[in-house]
């Protein structure tokens, strides 16, 4: 039986959660944990090679990019695209994938969006997929600059078409930082799918910070820990994610440290989101804790539409019932004043009540 690591691109949450205690014990545990993580990371100095059984060869296929975007610093960014099935697209979306993922993140959901008249551009974010500096953490500021340039190029390619920014997990955190900047781009709206918003500080973050200082290029895979999570209920999608040659199967400690900082910064910035926003979260998300999401949820501004997907996992657009999410995305884009098709408005209100996340400011 093939063991698919369901944590794959999101084991940072498991790593941070593994070292929790109280007082002096927490500090000793954090230091010991950091030394352990660093020693394990040094032993894993390269991305592991995965042997693909013949029956899973299709899951290991490399899909070439449709084109490369040349950014202002000369970087070539590979992009996959899905064109709208309608003669004239209703909207053009720039999709930002999650941590250790790639431009292939939208494979399962993009065809349904295209059928609803939506164009999707999916670039490899810098440091991931086949973008420059694969495996390195280039910094949130660099990634935000890339997004701004990519949005401008998307708008130029589809003049007169509403442009939206969509981000999943880490991509959602980058989208938040992009749309909370004082000079945030003027776009039609932002879609956040299980955004990585989690204020991790103090002892909880200490093991990773110490380990990253000791062995910044050391790598972890998530298998070093006795913490296992389910990122999606769709085994076919998880298998594709695992065997995809663009997926990073190990993570540098320096990148993990950068991600922790990004999650914290995005959580703090979220109340300043500009423009129309749809935030989608699943109540079975085992990677962004409900308490972390609730803290952000209750402080979002009035321009944010909250959408709760019952049974939804972290990788909602890979779930077996991902049609609920694609319907809500298309419904919000095409008819923003109507109730969401999945019933997510009502589910969001119920979830907020049960999780002490009732918005501080009235509004949808």
Q: What does the pLDDT look like over 23-67, one tens digit per residue? A: 443 444 444 454 445 444 444 556 777 889 999 999 999 999 999
Among candidate residues 137, 363, 147, the one with its CA nearest the CA of residue 263: 137
Where does the chain show beta strands of DSSP type E? 67-70, 76-82, 91-96, 118-123, 163-168, 189-193, 219-220, 251-252, 277-282, 304-309
Residue 303 has pLDDT above 60, yes or no: yes
User: For domain 11-48+64-354, is the CATH number 3.40.50.1820?
Assistant: yes
Residue 210 pairs with which residues in a beta bridge? none
Burial annotation 80-103 (CB, 10 A radius, 16+ → b, else e): bbbebeeeebebbbbbbbbbbbbb
Among candidate residues 274, 113, 96, 285, the one with its CA nearest the CA of residue 192: 96
Residue 259 has pLDDT above 80, yes or no: yes
> Mind listing the pLDDT tens digit for each residue in 188-245?
999 999 999 998 877 677 788 888 888 888 888 876 555 678 999 999 999 999 999 9
Host H or E run for residue 260: helix 253-269
């Amino acid at each position: 039986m093939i063991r698919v690591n369901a944590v794959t691109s999101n084991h940072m949450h498991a790593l941070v959660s593994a070292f929790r205690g109280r007082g002096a014990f927490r500090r000793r545990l954090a230091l010991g944990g950091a030394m352990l993580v660093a020693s394990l990371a040094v032993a894993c100095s390269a991305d592991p090679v995965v042997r693909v059984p013949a029956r899973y060869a299709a899951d290991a296929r490399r899909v070439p990019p449709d084109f490369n975007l040349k950014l202002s610093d000369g970087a070539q960014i590979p992009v996959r695209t899905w064109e709208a099935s309608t003669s004239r697209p209703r909207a053009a979306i720039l999709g930002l994938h999650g941590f250790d993922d790639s431009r292939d993140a939208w494979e399962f959901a993009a065809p349904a969006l295209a059928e609803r008249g939506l164009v999707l551009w999916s670039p490899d974010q810098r440091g991931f997929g086949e973008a420059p500096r694969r495996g390195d953490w280039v910094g949130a500021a660099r990634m935000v600059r890339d997004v701004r340039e990519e949005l401008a190029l998307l708008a130029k390619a589809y003049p007169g078409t509403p442009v939206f920014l969509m981000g999943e997990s880490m991509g959602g955190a980058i989208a938040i930082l992009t749309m909370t900047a004082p000079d945030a781009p003027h776009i039609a709206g932002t879609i956040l799918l299980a955004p990585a918003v989690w204020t991790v500080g103090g002892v909880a973050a200490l093991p990773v910070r110490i380990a990253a200082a000791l062995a910044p290029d050391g790598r972890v895979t998530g298998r070093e820990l006795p913490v296992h999570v389910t990122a999606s209920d769709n085994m076919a999608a998880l298998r594709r994610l695992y065997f995809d040659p663009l997926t990073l199967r190990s993570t540098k400690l320096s990148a993990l440290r950068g991600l922790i900082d990004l999650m914290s910064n995005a959580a703090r910035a979220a109340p300043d989101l500009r423009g129309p926003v749809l935030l989608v979260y699943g109540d079975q998300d085992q990677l962004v804790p409900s308490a972390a999401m609730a803290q952000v949820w209750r402080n979002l501004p009035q321009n944010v539409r909250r959408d709760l997907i019952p049974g939804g996992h972290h990788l909602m657009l890979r779930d077996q019932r991902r049609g609920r999410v694609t319907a809500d995305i298309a419904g919000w884009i095409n008819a923003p004043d109507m109730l969401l098709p999945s019933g997510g408005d009502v589910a969001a209100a119920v979830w907020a009540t049960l999780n002490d996340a009732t918005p501080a400011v009235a509004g949808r």
